[in-house]
A and B are shown apart, each in its own frame.
Chain A
Amino acid sequence: AQSVSQHNHHVILSEAASLELGCNYSYGGTVNLFWYVQYPGQHLQLLLKYFSGDPLVKGIKGFEAEFIKSKFSFNLRKPSVQWSDTAEYFCAVNAGSNYQLIWGAGTKLIIKP
């Protein structure tokens, strides 16, 4: 069965630290990949997406993600986090002809001021 795994459920960092959140999926065909963010008390917002082309995609607020097909990964990165990045981050995959998304369990990121 198709699945998406996010390696860490909780990540705690200090401001200015570098961030990398892992996301791996299990599907051998063409995929569309997404990272969503949910700030406290708010709904999900799209952070960035990959459909095709350059595997390094840039999103809002200084986030980027790299699609590595051979590793079935789509890790989210930010070189220097801010307190306002405290949120939950969801990786999601659309696989094949099934238009439904497969979601990771999410990672709660806490940035210490």
Chain B
Amino acid sequence: DTAVSQTPKYLVTQMGNDKSIKCEQNLGHDTMYWYKQDSKKFLKIMFSYNNKELIINETVPNRFSPKSPDKAHLNLHINSLELGDSAVYFCASSLRGQGASRGYTFGSGTRLTVV
């Protein structure tokens, strides 16, 4: 039933490891996003895909690589994890150009802790 689901919800890993976070939406939206929320709670967009095409790619390290196999999925792979990568990562989806009134929906977040 969940509209935008992210897995895992919590992820604890060691520095240097490679990890992936998955996101899926069943709303029929055509645009998906990854946001990073740091320890000060600021939410910053990382990537956005529209119909599997990258449309927003903010300045993030090359270690972060999004992958969108279809418009209902947007995964985030992170190589060589660093302590500073610890944050909560939010997936979201929408119909492009539209927002809350038409279904801008966030996932519940993935809390990544790098030790």
Q: How far is the CB of B101 from chain A (nearest CB, A)?
A: 4
Q: Tell whether, in the assembled complex, residue B101 and residue A10 are in contact, meaning their CB atoms are under 8 Å apart.
A: yes
Q: Tell whether, in the assembled complex, residue A107 and residue B41 are in contact, meaning their CB atoms are under 8 Å apart.
A: no
A43 with B45: in contact, given A100-B88, A105-B100, A106-B101 (CB under 8 Å)? yes
Count of interface residues, chain A, beta-carbon cutoff 8 Å: 25
A9 with B90: in contact, given A49-B41, A99-B111, A101-B41 (CB under 8 Å)? no
Binds B, one of A34-42, A61-69, A73-81: A34-42
Count of interface residues, chain B, beta-carbon cutoff 8 Å: 22
Q: Would you call the interface of chain A mostly helix, strand, loop, or mixed?
A: strand
User: B residues engaging A (CB < 8 A)?
Assistant: 33, 35, 37, 39, 41-43, 45, 48, 56, 88, 90, 96-97, 99-101, 104, 106, 108-109, 111
12 contacts between A and B (CB under 8 A): A34-B41, A36-B43, A43-B35, A43-B48, A90-B100, A92-B43, A94-B41, A99-B88, A100-B108, A101-B37, A101-B88, A108-B100
